């Protein structure tokens, strides 16, 4: 079982990478907002891949005894949000990611290198 949020963020990163997610970014929000400690943002080139990545993240975290608190976007598969409380996972279709540009909206949040977690 994973002991801390940073280890869970690494698990999410690996689950996204396993399904060939692109441009994976980890934003640290803990000193900026109380919404979450981290946003993990990734892109996919098709709706099918968006869903596959989200499903893989859920599966890998369930294996650790961690369950999603809220999810949204499963119907359209253009932007799936998985809310785990301490962190949120945003899986975007590439076009939606460019449109919503969360990294710009949260520009004050530092990027975290997955190796440093």
Q: Is residue 50 part of a domain?
A: yes
Which residue segment(s) compose the domain that 44 sits in?
5-111
- Our count of domains for the chain comes to 1
Give the pLDDT of the chain (117 residues) as one tens digit per residue: 556 999 999 999 999 999 999 999 999 999 999 999 999 999 999 999 999 999 999 999 999 999 999 999 988 899 999 999 999 999 999 999 999 999 999 999 999 998 887
Structural contact between residues 26 and 37, judged by C-beta atoms closer than 8 angstroms: no
Q: Is residue 13 part of a domain?
A: yes
Residue 72: give its domain's CATH number: 3.30.460.10
Q: Is residue 116 part of a domain?
A: no
């Amino acid at each position: 079982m994973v002991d801390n949020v940073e280890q869970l963020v690494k698990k999410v990163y690996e689950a996204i990478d396993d399904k060939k997610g692109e441009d994976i970014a980890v934003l640290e929000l803990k000193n900026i907002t109380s919404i979450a400690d981290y946003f993990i943002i990734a892109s996919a080139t098709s709706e099918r891949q968006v869903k596959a990545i989200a499903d893989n993240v859920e599966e890998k975290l369930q294996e650790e005894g961690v369950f999603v608190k809220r999810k949204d976007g499963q119907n359209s598969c253009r932007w799936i949000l998985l809310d785990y409380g301490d962190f949120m996972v945003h899986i975007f279709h590439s076009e939606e990611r460019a449109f919503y540009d969360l990294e710009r909206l949260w520009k004050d949040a530092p990027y975290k290198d997955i190796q440093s977690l």
